[in-house]
């Protein structure tokens, strides 16, 4: 029989951990002196101690280790446990690599003397119900005509705003056009309503976007678009749908362009 200190040296597990394993039932001593409380281990327990250390190194938690130890006599069950843990580790590695790319991109921008004014993130905008008006309009600066149609045709419908309420414009053309542009405006709503002549109520599916939010006039839109495009190119994503802008603070809320708050959103997917 081995005293706890001797077993600690042979197993290379600290006495503190051995006591912890005993209290949790993970590795109990072969015997414990009822009078002194001294713990005594068997040499045959050394392989179990080594297995516990190996499983810890693989990332298993103490509670999970107990379950895996029970699988050691069943190779099939043990393989399933190890494969599940490997998949978890691989997923963590992918997330770590994503964070490294984000950090490298930010550092590269700083190295080039660029400011961090337009911070780009990937997010999922959840499924939502919207009131929509989509038309071909003469130019982008005539978007307000669509909002006018929405207000006129829904004035007496007692529509409840969504929570949160998002006002957005979707640009459906695949390229920049100087005239006759395909634009859709959307406002999130709560409840169900009948369509009007030009206002359609529909459900918009969830979408993953690369987005950046900026404060100030719409003259910044080009710079914000450039920031998102560069981020997408440098971080292993591809554009995957029509771009849209969310107006968190718009001319409807303030006449001061410096107070506008706009979110540029580009649907993206992994390459």
* Each residue's pLDDT expressed in tens, for the chain with a length of 271 residues: 889 999 999 999 999 999 999 998 999 999 998 888 899 999 999 999 999 999 999 999 888 998 898 888 888 888 988 999 899 888 888 888 878 876 877 677 677 665 556 788 999 999 999 999 999 999 988 999 999 999 999 999 999 999 889 999 999 998 888 899 999 999 999 999 999 999 999 999 999 999 999 888 888 888 888 889 888 988 889 999 999 999 999 988 898 888 999 999 999 998 8
Strands (E), 138-230: 160-161, 167-171, 181-190, 200-204, 207-215
Q: pLDDT at position 14, please? A: 93
Query: What's the CA gap between 246 and 258, in Å, rounded?
Result: 16
Bridge partners, 202 (sequence order): 130
The neighbour count for residue 224, using CB atoms within 10 Å, is 22
State residue 75's pLDDT score: 87
pLDDT at 248: 92
Give CA–CA dist 29/6, Å, rounded: 13
Q: Residue with structure tokens 């004014």?
A: 117
For residues 122 and 234, the answer to whether their CB atoms sit within 8 Å is no
Residue 107 has a pLDDT of 78
Task: Tell me what pLDDT residue 182 has.
Answer: 96
CA-CA distance, 43 to 124, in Å (whole number)? 55
Alpha-carbon span 161 to 221, nearest angstrom: 27
Q: What is the reported pLDDT for 109? A: 62
Point out which residues pair with 3 in neighbouring strands.
Answer: 40
- How far is it, in rounded angstroms, from Cα 244 to Cα 143? 13
Give the bridge partners for 214, in sequence order.
Answer: 262
pLDDT (0 to 100) of residue 230:
86
CA distance 193 to 138: 29
- Tokens 């963590």, residue located: 92
So what's the pLDDT on residue 96? 86
Alpha carbons 174 and 243: distance in angstroms, whole number? 9
């Amino acid at each position: 029989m081995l005293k706890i200190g001797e077993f600690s040296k042979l197993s290379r597990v600290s006495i503190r951990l051995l006591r912890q394993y005993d209290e949790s039932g993970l590795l109990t001593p072969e015997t414990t002196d009822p009078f002194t409380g001294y713990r005594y281990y068997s040499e045959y327990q050394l392989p179990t101690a080594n297995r516990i250390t190996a499983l810890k190194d693989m990332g298993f938690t103490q509670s999970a280790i107990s379950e895996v130890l029970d699988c050691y006599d069943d190779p099939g069950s043990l393989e399933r446990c190890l494969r599940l843990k490997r998949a978890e580790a691989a997923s963590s590695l992918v997330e770590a690599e994503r964070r490294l790319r984000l950090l490298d991109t930010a550092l590269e921008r700083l190295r080039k003397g660029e400011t961090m004014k337009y911070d780009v993130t990937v997010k999922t905008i959840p499924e939502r119900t919207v009131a929509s008006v989509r038309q071909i309009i003469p130019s982008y600066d005539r978007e307000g005509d669509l909002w006018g149609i929405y207000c006129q045709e829904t004035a007496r419908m007692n529509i409840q705003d969504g929570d949160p309420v998002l006002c957005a414009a979707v640009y459906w053309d695949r390229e920049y056009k100087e005239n006759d542009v395909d634009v859709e405006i959307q406002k999130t709503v709560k409840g169900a309503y009948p369509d009007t002549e030009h206002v359609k109520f529909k459900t918009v599916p969830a979408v993953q976007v690369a987005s950046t939010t900026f404060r100030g006039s719409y003259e910044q839109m080009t710079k914000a678009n450039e920031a998102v495009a560069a981020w997408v190119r440098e971080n292993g994503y591809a554009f995957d749908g029509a771009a849209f802008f969310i107006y968190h603070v718009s001319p409807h809320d303030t006449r001061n362009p410096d107070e506008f708050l706009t979110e540029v959103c580009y649907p993206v997917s992994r390459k």
